Copies of this chain bind each other. A is one copy, B any other.
């Protein structure tokens, strides 16, 4: 049988619960497709801070780099919220993304027919939404230098960051976006603030220049403020969206909430080579951690993305995706997506229902 090594990074809060479910689903789906996994669990985020004093231990990055794919639960919690920057759980996540060079973050947001009522948008606006945000993940204002604290001419304290993009960074994310659009409905909307920011002007120029290589993709441009509006007004107009790190952070979260079921949404982060990083969109939800209440489906679907985008194992991925829909069709719901007439289950039980259907 084929064998892959997977790094599991449960992280904080509900991370361990949802990773444990996803691991079992991955195992079963793999074994039915003749795939074996070797799992190695490593600390990252707040738990790594408590254990080792840093949010991303060297050992964790090393193991992750040497594996075939990385599955992350969630990081962060109130406990570490006031830590200094280099001791924040979030810093560990950023170091991980950067260390794995996963510059392309794919964030699908689609409204499942089973869950259309979960959206706060009117049914006719929400139903049929199926979009993908391609977010640049290792550049821009998240990583740009110079950054820090200092003084201005008048001796007043300042805090500053640099939004910066080089042509190669724009080109490689644009290429992935065009290819993603090609495999979807052939529409790509590039989001920027080119009416104000030089970094965005270069972004728009490079994305536009690449369009001729993809004649089957219809490219449009939109300012970020307008995009934030259009996602509310008519999300169905979007197929694939490509944007920078910070705008992608904001817009992908907005898009995910439009589906009304953020507990369902996976993400994939990939680079030019090396292992990809797969994680649910949702956070560590410290308020319900350890209570068997979390929705494991976003992590289970992230495992499916891991199979498809990380390992090229489309069949095993399909098994998982179908199993998730099947569990929903049979009426099982965790608290976050529960509605009258469905069956409320916990994290573990939802996992078992998916396993039955794999």
A contacts, CB < 8 Å to B: 76, 85, 88, 90, 94, 120-122, 125, 141-142, 144, 147-149, 152, 154, 156-168, 193, 195-203, 224-226, 228-234, 246-247, 249-254, 256-258, 262
Contacts and interface: CB of A to CB of B under 8 A. Distances in A.
Contacts of A156: 166-168
A225 B250 contact: yes
A162 B162 contact: yes
Central interface residue in A142, A233, A246, by most chain B CB within 10 Å: A246
B165 A159 contact: yes
Given A122-B122, A224-B250, A229-B262, A161 B162 contact: yes
Contacts of A167: 156-158
Contact of A254 (B198, B247, B254): B254
Contacts of A90: 195-196
Contacts of A202: 149, 157-159
B159 A201 contact: yes
Contacts of A257: 228-230, 232-233
* A contacts with B: majority SS: helix
Copies in the complex: 2
A154 B166 CA distance: 10
B163 A163 contact: yes
Given A120-B122, A122-B120, A157 B163 contact: no
A70 to B, nearest CB: 21
Given A159-B197, A161-B198, 16 more contacts: A94-B196, A120-B233, A121-B122, A121-B232, A147-B197, A157-B167, A158-B166, A158-B202, A159-B165, A159-B199, A159-B200, A159-B202, A160-B163, A160-B199, A161-B162, A162-B163
Contacts of A165: 158-160
Nearest to A165: B159
Contact of A249 (B120, B162, B224): B224
Contacts of A120: 121-122, 125, 232-234
Nearest to A225: B253
A203 to B, nearest CB: 7
> Would you list the 5 A-B pairs with minimal beta carbon distance, nearest first?
A159-B202, A229-B257, A160-B164, A228-B254, A225-B253
A158 B205 CA distance: 12
Nearest to A123: B122
A88 B165 CA distance: 22
Contact of A197 (B161, B168, B228, B232): B161
A145 to B, nearest CB: 10
A200 B90 CA distance: 14
14 contacts: A85-B201, A90-B195, A121-B121, A147-B197, A148-B198, A158-B164, A158-B202, A159-B197, A160-B163, A193-B249, A228-B228, A228-B250, A229-B253, A254-B254
A51 to B, nearest CB: 21
A246 B231 CA distance: 18
Contacts of A256: 229
Contact of A149 (B142, B157, B198, B253): B198
